[in-house]
Amino acid sequence: MQAYAPGRVELLGNHTDYNDGVVLAAAIDRGITLEGDLSGNGIILLTSNGEQVRHDLEYRWPEPLTHSTWANYPLGVVRMLLEEGYEISGFSATISSNLMTGAGLSSSAALEVATCLLIEKLAGFSLEPMARAKLCRRAENEFVGVNCGLLDQASSVFGAENAAIHLDCRAETVETVPFPEGFALLITNSGVKHELTGGEYNERRNQCFEAASILGVKALRDTTSAALLAADMPDVTRRRALHVTGEIERVQAGVQMLKAGDGNGFGRLMFESHESSRKNFENSTPELDALVEIARSTAGVFGSRLTGGGFGGATVSLIDPQQADAIIARFAEEYQKITGITCQTYLTTLAEGAH
Protein backbone atom coordinates (compact mmCIF):
# COMPACT_ATOMS: atom_id res chain seq x y z
CA MET A 1 0.00 0.00 0.00
CA GLN A 2 1.24 3.47 -0.87
CA ALA A 3 0.29 6.91 0.38
CA TYR A 4 1.60 10.20 -0.98
CA ALA A 5 1.38 13.75 0.36
CA PRO A 6 2.79 16.83 -1.37
CA GLY A 7 4.84 19.64 0.03
CA ARG A 8 3.44 23.12 -0.14
CA VAL A 9 4.52 26.58 -1.07
CA GLU A 10 3.09 29.56 0.79
CA LEU A 11 2.15 32.30 -1.66
CA LEU A 12 0.88 34.96 0.76
CA GLY A 13 -0.14 34.92 4.41
CA ASN A 14 3.11 34.51 6.29
CA HIS A 15 2.55 33.58 9.97
CA THR A 16 -1.15 34.40 9.75
CA ASP A 17 -2.44 30.91 10.47
CA TYR A 18 -1.99 30.84 14.25
CA ASN A 19 -3.41 34.39 14.36
CA ASP A 20 -6.81 33.16 13.08
CA GLY A 21 -6.02 34.75 9.72
CA VAL A 22 -6.20 33.77 6.07
CA VAL A 23 -3.51 32.24 3.85
CA LEU A 24 -2.90 31.56 0.17
CA ALA A 25 -0.80 28.48 -0.52
CA ALA A 26 -0.43 25.71 -3.08
CA ALA A 27 0.43 22.04 -3.00
CA ILE A 28 3.40 21.39 -5.28
CA ASP A 29 4.39 18.51 -7.52
CA ARG A 30 6.93 17.07 -5.09
CA GLY A 31 6.30 15.31 -1.84
CA ILE A 32 6.72 12.26 0.37
CA THR A 33 5.67 8.67 -0.31
CA LEU A 34 5.16 5.95 2.28
CA GLU A 35 5.00 2.32 1.18
CA GLY A 36 3.90 -0.08 3.88
CA ASP A 37 1.96 -3.08 5.15
CA LEU A 38 0.36 -4.23 8.36
CA SER A 39 2.73 -6.08 10.68
CA GLY A 40 0.05 -7.72 12.82
CA ASN A 41 2.39 -7.97 15.82
CA GLY A 42 2.09 -4.51 17.35
CA ILE A 43 5.46 -3.43 15.95
CA ILE A 44 5.96 -0.17 14.07
CA LEU A 45 9.01 -0.26 11.80
CA LEU A 46 9.89 2.97 10.00
CA THR A 47 12.67 3.15 7.42
CA SER A 48 14.11 6.33 5.91
CA ASN A 49 17.40 6.68 4.02
CA GLY A 50 18.54 3.30 5.31
CA GLU A 51 17.88 4.19 8.96
CA GLN A 52 15.27 2.21 10.89
CA VAL A 53 13.23 3.09 13.95
CA ARG A 54 11.33 0.33 15.75
CA HIS A 55 8.55 0.82 18.28
CA ASP A 56 6.53 -1.83 20.11
CA LEU A 57 2.92 -0.68 20.55
CA GLU A 58 2.19 -3.61 22.84
CA TYR A 59 4.75 -2.23 25.28
CA ARG A 60 3.66 1.43 25.32
CA TRP A 61 2.35 4.26 23.19
CA PRO A 62 4.97 6.31 21.29
CA GLU A 63 6.90 9.02 23.12
CA PRO A 64 9.07 11.69 21.42
CA LEU A 65 12.55 10.50 20.47
CA THR A 66 15.71 12.44 21.17
CA HIS A 67 17.53 10.50 18.45
CA SER A 68 16.30 9.82 14.89
CA THR A 69 14.03 12.80 15.37
CA TRP A 70 12.66 12.50 11.81
CA ALA A 71 10.59 9.59 13.16
CA ASN A 72 8.76 11.87 15.60
CA TYR A 73 6.52 13.10 12.78
CA PRO A 74 5.02 9.69 11.89
CA LEU A 75 5.12 8.52 15.52
CA GLY A 76 3.27 11.68 16.55
CA VAL A 77 0.49 10.82 14.10
CA VAL A 78 0.28 7.31 15.57
CA ARG A 79 0.01 8.77 19.06
CA MET A 80 -2.78 11.17 18.09
CA LEU A 81 -4.75 8.40 16.37
CA LEU A 82 -4.44 6.20 19.44
CA GLU A 83 -5.59 9.06 21.66
CA GLU A 84 -8.62 9.47 19.39
CA GLY A 85 -9.49 5.82 19.97
CA TYR A 86 -8.45 4.31 16.65
CA GLU A 87 -6.97 0.80 16.77
CA ILE A 88 -3.54 0.36 15.23
CA SER A 89 -2.04 -3.11 15.30
CA GLY A 90 1.39 -2.22 13.98
CA PHE A 91 2.81 -1.62 10.53
CA SER A 92 6.00 -1.19 8.55
CA ALA A 93 6.61 1.76 6.26
CA THR A 94 9.45 2.88 4.02
CA ILE A 95 9.66 6.64 3.51
CA SER A 96 10.94 8.21 0.29
CA SER A 97 10.94 11.82 -0.80
CA ASN A 98 11.73 14.05 -3.75
CA LEU A 99 11.03 17.15 -1.67
CA MET A 100 13.89 19.38 -0.57
CA THR A 101 14.18 19.17 3.22
CA GLY A 102 15.10 22.24 5.20
CA ALA A 103 13.72 24.51 2.47
CA GLY A 104 10.51 25.60 4.20
CA LEU A 105 8.33 23.54 1.87
CA SER A 106 6.69 21.67 4.73
CA SER A 107 8.27 18.25 4.42
CA SER A 108 7.22 17.63 8.02
CA ALA A 109 3.52 18.15 7.28
CA ALA A 110 3.78 16.02 4.13
CA LEU A 111 5.28 13.21 6.20
CA GLU A 112 2.53 13.52 8.80
CA VAL A 113 -0.28 13.54 6.25
CA ALA A 114 1.15 10.64 4.25
CA THR A 115 1.54 8.63 7.47
CA CYS A 116 -2.04 9.31 8.51
CA LEU A 117 -3.40 8.35 5.11
CA LEU A 118 -1.37 5.13 5.02
CA ILE A 119 -2.56 4.10 8.48
CA GLU A 120 -6.16 4.86 7.55
CA LYS A 121 -5.94 2.58 4.53
CA LEU A 122 -4.10 -0.21 6.35
CA ALA A 123 -6.39 -0.13 9.40
CA GLY A 124 -9.62 0.27 7.46
CA PHE A 125 -10.95 3.61 8.69
CA SER A 126 -11.23 7.02 7.04
CA LEU A 127 -10.99 10.54 8.43
CA GLU A 128 -12.69 13.53 6.92
CA PRO A 129 -10.08 15.67 5.11
CA MET A 130 -10.16 18.57 7.59
CA ALA A 131 -10.08 16.16 10.51
CA ARG A 132 -6.97 14.56 8.97
CA ALA A 133 -5.27 17.95 8.64
CA LYS A 134 -6.15 18.92 12.22
CA LEU A 135 -4.95 15.61 13.67
CA CYS A 136 -1.61 16.01 11.87
CA ARG A 137 -1.30 19.54 13.22
CA ARG A 138 -1.89 18.17 16.73
CA ALA A 139 0.94 15.71 16.15
CA GLU A 140 3.31 18.56 15.32
CA ASN A 141 2.05 20.76 18.18
CA GLU A 142 1.83 18.21 20.98
CA PHE A 143 4.33 15.50 20.02
CA VAL A 144 7.05 17.27 18.00
CA GLY A 145 6.68 20.50 19.97
CA VAL A 146 6.28 23.07 17.18
CA ASN A 147 3.28 25.33 17.70
CA CYS A 148 2.42 25.62 14.01
CA GLY A 149 -0.98 26.58 12.68
CA LEU A 150 -3.09 24.63 10.19
CA LEU A 151 -1.56 25.94 6.96
CA ASP A 152 0.95 23.22 6.18
CA GLN A 153 -1.21 20.20 6.85
CA ALA A 154 -4.30 21.67 5.19
CA SER A 155 -2.31 22.59 2.08
CA SER A 156 -1.01 19.03 1.78
CA VAL A 157 -4.51 17.58 2.25
CA PHE A 158 -6.52 20.00 0.10
CA GLY A 159 -4.13 20.70 -2.78
CA ALA A 160 -5.71 21.03 -6.20
CA GLU A 161 -4.24 20.97 -9.70
CA ASN A 162 -3.63 24.45 -11.16
CA ALA A 163 -5.26 26.13 -8.17
CA ALA A 164 -4.20 27.99 -5.05
CA ILE A 165 -5.63 27.13 -1.64
CA HIS A 166 -7.36 29.91 0.27
CA LEU A 167 -7.48 28.78 3.89
CA ASP A 168 -9.51 30.59 6.53
CA CYS A 169 -7.82 29.49 9.73
CA ARG A 170 -10.60 30.67 12.04
CA ALA A 171 -13.48 29.11 10.13
CA GLU A 172 -11.25 26.16 9.15
CA THR A 173 -12.58 26.26 5.61
CA VAL A 174 -10.78 25.91 2.28
CA GLU A 175 -11.55 27.52 -1.07
CA THR A 176 -9.61 26.67 -4.21
CA VAL A 177 -8.77 29.65 -6.44
CA PRO A 178 -7.83 29.03 -10.09
CA PHE A 179 -4.28 30.10 -10.88
CA PRO A 180 -3.96 32.41 -13.89
CA GLU A 181 -2.57 31.03 -17.14
CA GLY A 182 0.77 32.31 -18.38
CA PHE A 183 2.43 32.35 -14.97
CA ALA A 184 4.60 29.77 -13.20
CA LEU A 185 6.14 29.31 -9.77
CA LEU A 186 9.90 28.98 -9.32
CA ILE A 187 11.18 27.71 -5.98
CA THR A 188 14.77 28.58 -5.07
CA ASN A 189 16.48 27.00 -2.08
CA SER A 190 18.84 29.45 -0.41
CA GLY A 191 21.02 26.64 0.95
CA VAL A 192 20.45 27.92 4.50
CA LYS A 193 18.54 25.22 6.32
CA HIS A 194 15.10 26.14 7.56
CA GLU A 195 14.49 24.85 11.09
CA LEU A 196 11.37 25.68 13.07
CA THR A 197 12.16 23.73 16.22
CA GLY A 198 14.41 26.62 17.27
CA GLY A 199 13.05 29.32 19.53
CA GLU A 200 12.43 32.01 16.88
CA TYR A 201 9.09 30.64 15.72
CA ASN A 202 7.58 30.34 19.18
CA GLU A 203 8.98 33.76 20.13
CA ARG A 204 7.24 35.40 17.14
CA ARG A 205 4.03 33.55 17.95
CA ASN A 206 4.07 34.84 21.54
CA GLN A 207 4.76 38.40 20.37
CA CYS A 208 1.68 38.23 18.14
CA PHE A 209 -0.42 37.02 21.07
CA GLU A 210 1.00 39.84 23.20
CA ALA A 211 -0.11 42.43 20.62
CA ALA A 212 -3.62 40.98 20.48
CA SER A 213 -3.82 41.06 24.27
CA ILE A 214 -2.74 44.71 24.41
CA LEU A 215 -5.44 45.59 21.89
CA GLY A 216 -8.05 43.54 23.74
CA VAL A 217 -8.90 41.35 20.75
CA LYS A 218 -9.07 37.58 20.47
CA ALA A 219 -6.50 37.44 17.67
CA LEU A 220 -4.74 39.73 15.21
CA ARG A 221 -7.40 38.69 12.68
CA ASP A 222 -9.70 41.05 14.62
CA THR A 223 -7.70 44.25 14.18
CA THR A 224 -6.12 46.33 11.42
CA SER A 225 -2.78 47.83 10.60
CA ALA A 226 -4.22 51.29 11.29
CA ALA A 227 -5.29 50.26 14.82
CA LEU A 228 -1.83 48.88 15.54
CA LEU A 229 -0.14 52.10 14.46
CA ALA A 230 -2.34 54.05 16.88
CA ALA A 231 -1.85 51.71 19.86
CA ASP A 232 0.58 52.02 22.75
CA MET A 233 2.83 48.95 22.72
CA PRO A 234 6.52 48.04 22.46
CA ASP A 235 7.96 48.75 19.03
CA VAL A 236 9.06 45.17 18.38
CA THR A 237 5.61 43.85 19.32
CA ARG A 238 3.96 46.37 16.99
CA ARG A 239 6.21 45.42 14.08
CA ARG A 240 5.52 41.71 14.52
CA ALA A 241 1.79 42.39 14.55
CA LEU A 242 1.95 44.79 11.59
CA HIS A 243 3.46 42.01 9.51
CA VAL A 244 0.51 39.73 10.29
CA THR A 245 -2.23 42.31 9.72
CA GLY A 246 -0.52 43.40 6.51
CA GLU A 247 -0.32 39.80 5.33
CA ILE A 248 -4.03 39.26 6.01
CA GLU A 249 -4.80 42.37 3.96
CA ARG A 250 -2.49 41.16 1.17
CA VAL A 251 -4.18 37.75 1.07
CA GLN A 252 -7.59 39.35 0.74
CA ALA A 253 -6.34 41.48 -2.14
CA GLY A 254 -4.44 38.56 -3.66
CA VAL A 255 -7.50 36.32 -3.88
CA GLN A 256 -9.27 38.95 -5.95
CA MET A 257 -6.22 39.41 -8.18
CA LEU A 258 -5.97 35.67 -8.87
CA LYS A 259 -9.66 35.50 -9.71
CA ALA A 260 -9.17 38.41 -12.12
CA GLY A 261 -6.08 36.81 -13.66
CA ASP A 262 -3.89 39.71 -12.52
CA GLY A 263 -0.54 38.01 -12.09
CA ASN A 264 1.38 41.29 -12.23
CA GLY A 265 -0.59 42.69 -9.30
CA PHE A 266 -0.18 39.46 -7.37
CA GLY A 267 3.57 39.62 -7.90
CA ARG A 268 3.71 43.12 -6.42
CA LEU A 269 2.00 41.80 -3.29
CA MET A 270 4.67 39.09 -3.04
CA PHE A 271 7.45 41.69 -3.07
CA GLU A 272 5.59 43.71 -0.42
CA SER A 273 5.21 40.58 1.70
CA HIS A 274 8.93 39.88 1.67
CA GLU A 275 9.78 43.45 2.60
CA SER A 276 7.48 43.13 5.62
CA SER A 277 9.15 39.84 6.58
CA ARG A 278 12.53 41.54 6.36
CA LYS A 279 11.69 44.70 8.30
CA ASN A 280 8.77 43.87 10.61
CA PHE A 281 8.86 40.15 11.36
CA GLU A 282 12.61 39.72 10.93
CA ASN A 283 12.26 36.12 9.81
CA SER A 284 14.30 36.56 6.65
CA THR A 285 18.04 36.01 6.21
CA PRO A 286 20.68 37.82 4.12
CA GLU A 287 20.59 34.92 1.66
CA LEU A 288 16.81 35.08 1.21
CA ASP A 289 17.04 38.86 0.82
CA ALA A 290 19.70 38.40 -1.85
CA LEU A 291 17.46 36.04 -3.83
CA VAL A 292 14.54 38.47 -3.70
CA GLU A 293 16.73 41.39 -4.78
CA ILE A 294 18.02 39.33 -7.72
CA ALA A 295 14.40 38.58 -8.61
CA ARG A 296 13.52 42.29 -8.59
CA SER A 297 16.10 42.99 -11.27
CA THR A 298 15.45 39.94 -13.47
CA ALA A 299 13.29 40.20 -16.58
CA GLY A 300 10.27 37.91 -16.52
CA VAL A 301 9.94 37.85 -12.69
CA PHE A 302 6.74 39.45 -11.40
CA GLY A 303 7.15 38.83 -7.67
CA SER A 304 9.24 36.97 -5.11
CA ARG A 305 9.26 36.34 -1.37
CA LEU A 306 10.42 33.92 1.27
CA THR A 307 8.04 31.01 1.67
CA GLY A 308 7.13 29.23 4.88
CA GLY A 309 8.28 30.09 8.36
CA GLY A 310 11.45 31.83 7.23
CA PHE A 311 14.77 31.77 9.12
CA GLY A 312 16.31 30.11 6.07
CA GLY A 313 14.75 27.89 3.45
CA ALA A 314 13.49 28.94 0.07
CA THR A 315 11.92 31.74 -1.93
CA VAL A 316 9.00 31.44 -4.31
CA SER A 317 8.93 33.61 -7.41
CA LEU A 318 6.11 34.26 -9.86
CA ILE A 319 7.63 34.14 -13.33
CA ASP A 320 6.98 34.01 -17.05
CA PRO A 321 7.45 30.30 -17.88
CA GLN A 322 8.73 31.15 -21.36
CA GLN A 323 11.74 32.88 -19.77
CA ALA A 324 12.33 30.21 -17.12
CA ASP A 325 15.71 28.99 -18.41
CA ALA A 326 17.18 32.49 -18.50
CA ILE A 327 15.74 33.32 -15.08
CA ILE A 328 17.14 30.17 -13.49
CA ALA A 329 20.57 30.79 -15.01
CA ARG A 330 20.65 34.39 -13.75
CA PHE A 331 19.53 33.41 -10.24
CA ALA A 332 22.30 30.81 -10.03
CA GLU A 333 25.02 33.12 -11.37
CA GLU A 334 24.15 36.18 -9.30
CA TYR A 335 23.49 34.27 -6.09
CA GLN A 336 26.85 32.51 -6.36
CA LYS A 337 28.56 35.88 -6.81
CA ILE A 338 26.85 37.43 -3.78
CA THR A 339 26.92 34.54 -1.29
CA GLY A 340 29.30 31.92 -2.59
CA ILE A 341 26.45 29.39 -2.30
CA THR A 342 25.08 27.26 -5.11
CA CYS A 343 21.30 27.54 -5.03
CA GLN A 344 18.84 24.86 -6.12
CA THR A 345 15.94 25.94 -8.29
CA TYR A 346 13.01 24.14 -9.81
CA LEU A 347 9.82 25.03 -11.58
CA THR A 348 6.77 23.62 -9.91
CA THR A 349 3.19 23.05 -10.87
CA LEU A 350 0.23 23.46 -8.54
CA ALA A 351 -0.69 19.89 -7.77
CA GLU A 352 -3.23 17.50 -6.29
CA GLY A 353 -3.27 16.95 -2.54
CA ALA A 354 -2.61 13.76 -0.56
CA HIS A 355 -3.76 10.49 -2.07
Q: Is 152 a catalytic residue?
A: yes
DSSP 102: T
Among 152, 232, 289, 325, the active-site one is 152
Residue 162: is it exposed, middle or buried by C-beta count within 10 angstroms (0-12/13-18/19+)?
middle
The amino acid present at 320, given as its one-letter code, is: D
The contacts of residue 86 (CB under 8 Å, 6+ apart) are: 119, 123, 125
Gap between the Cα atoms of 45 and 56, Å rounded = 9
For residue 94, how far is the Cα from the chain centroid?
23
Question: Between 235-259 and 199-215, two packed helices, what is the crossing angle to 10 degrees?
Answer: 90
DSSP 355: -
Which is nearest to 316 in space by CA: 270, 277, 260? 270
The percent helix, strand, coil of the chain (3-state, each to 5) is: 45, 25, 30
DSSP 342: P
Give 187's strand partners.
316, 346
Residues with catalytic annotation?
152
